């Protein structure tokens, strides 16, 4: 088999609603029309709604698609497991809801050819998002630049990031060690700190980073709580700053 040009890693925790909408089918259909070898890695994060079984059935009839069954460690643990398993020369992680459509990878891949090692999506326009979400995002950007840094990057939190194999193996290998392999949790957990840690590790390793505008459409989810998420996000910022000062990401 030819070398895998692109690995697409998709974390999945109780994603039956999105799976039934055909989001995974859309990813595969797009990749089937590309001229390069690919693989899709779905990392189930301990789902309890039948979505793991749904994906397992899907891959039986779809080559180049695989399922990793993880303990429930949260999005960070699921993404890390998939990224380290990926065989592609380039490795993308994206969300199952496809708020940023898989087609947007076409705008990211050319920058890999130009020599960038980490290329991240940036949501300049947040179409459909309620004012509360837009305010949260704007506040997070301002506070993050003050507390943590990364002043040249506007949107650190977009769940659409592309890495060369070299940068992916280094960054996610370090993330796994920093978090001691990730612990099993209860409930959903999407932490602001995870994406920041990835970029700080990339920056400190002198990997070249490029931020690229991508299309993004707001997808409503019950996992977002404006008050709790804002408090947790601020906590994560100070935690990352503390780790940064201790040299954890060096």
Q: What CATH number does the domain containing 157 carry?
A: 3.90.550.10
At 131 the pLDDT is 64
pLDDT, tens digit (0-9, with 9 covering 90-100), for 145-177: 999 989 999 999 999 999 999 999 999 999 999
Largest distance between two CA atoms of the chain: 49
Q: Indicate whether 66 belongs to any domain.
A: yes
At 124 the pLDDT is 75
Q: Indicate whether 17 belongs to any domain.
A: yes
At 185 the pLDDT is 79
Q: Confidence band (pLDDT; 50, 70, 90) for 219?
A: confident
Q: Percent of the chain scored above 70 by pLDDT?
A: 90
Q: Indicate whether 188 belongs to any domain.
A: yes
| Rounded mean pLDDT, 76-102 | 97
Q: DSSP 3-state assignment of 24?
A: helix
Q: Which residues pair with 213 in a beta bridge?
A: 122
| Rounded mean pLDDT, 106-131 | 87
Whether pLDDT at 226 is above 80: no
Whether pLDDT at 121 is above 90: yes
pLDDT, tens digit (0-9, with 9 covering 90-100), for 16-38: 999 999 999 999 999 999 999 99
Q: Indicate whether 1 belongs to any domain.
A: no
Give the dihedral of Cα atoms 135, 139, 142, 146; nearest 10 deg. Answer: 180
Q: What is the pLDDT of the chain when averaged over all its residues? A: 91
At 142 the pLDDT is 87
Q: Could you give the CA distance from residue 21 to residue 219 in angstroms, rounded to a whole number?
A: 12
Q: Indicate whether 69 belongs to any domain.
A: yes
pLDDT, tens digit (0-9, with 9 covering 90-100), for 189-210: 567 799 999 999 999 999 999 9
Question: How far, in Å, are 38, 67, 110, 209, 230 from residue 117 at the CA level?
Answer: 19, 26, 11, 6, 31
Domain span including residue 188: 6-245
Q: How many domains does the chain have?
A: 1
Q: Indicate whether 40 belongs to any domain.
A: yes
Q: Indicate whether 250 belongs to any domain.
A: no
More confident residue, 182 or 89: 89
Residue carrying structure tokens 């990031």:
161
Q: Indicate whether 42 belongs to any domain.
A: yes
Distance of CA 69 to the CA centre of its chain: 17
């Amino acid at each position: 088999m030819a070398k895998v040009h692109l690995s697409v890693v998709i974390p999945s925790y109780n994603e039956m609603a999105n799976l039934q909408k055909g989001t995974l089918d859309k990813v595969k259909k797009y990749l089937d029309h590309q001229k390069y070898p690919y693989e899709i890695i779905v990392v189930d994060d301990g789902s309890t709604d039948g979505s793991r079984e749904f994906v397992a059935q899907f891959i039986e009839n779809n080559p180049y698609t695989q399922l990793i069954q993880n303990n429930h460690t949260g999005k960070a643990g699921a993404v890390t497991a998939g990224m380290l398993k990926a065989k592609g020369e380039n490795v993308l992680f994206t969300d199952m809801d496809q708020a940023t459509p898989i087609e947007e990878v076409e705008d990211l891949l050319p920058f890999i050819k130009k020599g960038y090692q980490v290329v991240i999506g940036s949501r300049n326009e947040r179409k459909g998002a309620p004012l509360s979400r837009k305010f949260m995002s704007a506040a997070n950007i301002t506070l993050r630049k003050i507390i943590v840094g990364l002043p040249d990057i506007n949107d650190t939190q977009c769940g659409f990031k592309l890495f060369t194999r070299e940068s992916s193996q280094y960054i996610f290998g370090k993330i796994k060690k920093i978090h001691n392999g990730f612990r099993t949790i209860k409930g959903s957990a999407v932490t602001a700190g995870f994406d920041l840690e990835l970029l700080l590790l990339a920056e400190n390793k002198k990997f070249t980073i490029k931020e690229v505008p991508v299309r993004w459409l707001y997808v409503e989810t019950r996992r977002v709580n404006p008050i709790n998420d804002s408090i947790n996000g601020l906590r994560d910022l100070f935690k990352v700053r503390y780790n940064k000062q201790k040299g954890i990401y060096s």
